[in-house]
Amino acid sequence: MNINKFVVFHADFRWPTPDEIAAAEELAEHLAASLTAHGISVEEVDGDELGHEIKCGVGDSTITLWVTADTLKDEPGDWTAGICAKQTFFGDKPHAEDDVITLVQALDACLQESERIWDIRWYPHFETPDYLALMTASDGPICDPELYEQMHPVLRRDMQLMRLTNLVCGLRGFLLFACVYIVLRTVAPQLAHLALGVFAALFLVFVFLVPVFSGYQIRKEAAKLDRSMSSHQHQSGTTHEP
């Protein structure tokens, strides 16, 4: 299922001053109260001048909803809300799909019911206004499969960045195990050799095997999207800038 995790909308909440940059305290408090009314357990609302986060308890996990004013545009007006990935030592990790669906559907209900919010546009994930302009917005958190091709310019770029992300994660693991090896070599030489073997196995997985699989997925998705977009352009007689 294709899930939209980022939403842009207009609202009449107080726009942040230049010193506040993109703070969204009033909006965050409003959404937190609405989410609670829709059965979402709000654990905390916190933020700074860059935006506010709403930590929501969904299922057995905590999902952070980031709310901010879209100050990247020349003219004020848009507010945004999006789901943050789970932060782990080895990089971002997606939340359980069922939990994400529960949260975005509750968020959509809050937005639709509020008289202070209008012009609601859902997207797969955060992007800058220029990239969002290349994508077709959905009217709800569940993405229409026919609009999947509209993610093409952004999706291809993001998927290609997976290789770099995997490499960075591998290097981070290398530094950790190098420190462990040095310590064990001093206090327990035999364990140091075992740690070295474990490190070598994990290093191969994260630096070589995962990027190879990611590369396969990139080529597979890019080819599918190329065929889909070519068919769409042929039928509509229009072209899209890559």
Task: Please name the amino acid found at residue 192.
Answer: A
* pLDDT at 240 (0 to 100): 35
Higher pLDDT, 3 or 75: 3
Helix (H) or strand (E) holding 131: helix 129-132
pLDDT tens per residue across span 159-184? 556 666 766 776 777 777 778 778 87
* pLDDT at 206 (0 to 100): 61
Structure tokens at 223: 């080819």
Give the mean pLDDT of 100-125: 94
- Provide the CA 20 distance to its chain's centre, in angstroms: 24
Residue 28 has pLDDT above 90, yes or no: yes
Residue 225 has pLDDT above 60, yes or no: no
Q: What percent of the chain has pLDDT over 90?
A: 32
Q: Is pTM beyond 0.75 here?
A: no
* pLDDT at 239 (0 to 100): 37
Residue 231 has pLDDT above 70, yes or no: no
Task: Please name the amino acid found at residue 98.
Answer: D
Spatial distance between the Cα atoms of 118 and 10, rounded to a whole number of angstroms: 5
Higher pLDDT, 41 or 60: 41
Helix (H) or strand (E) holding 81: strand 78-83
Spatial distance between the Cα atoms of 113 and 99, rounded to a whole number of angstroms: 21
| Look-up of token digits 């291809």 | 156
Report the C-alpha dihedral over residues 138, 143, 147, 148, rounded to 10 degrees.
140
Spatial distance between the Cα atoms of 14 and 24, rounded to a whole number of angstroms: 8
Task: Let me know: does 126 contact 151? Beta carbons within 8 Å.
Answer: no
Structure tokens at 143: 């993405």
Give the mean pLDDT of 190-194: 75
Beta-carbon contacts of residue 111 (< 8 Å; ≥ 6 apart)? 7, 9, 117, 120
Structure tokens at 120: 């609601």
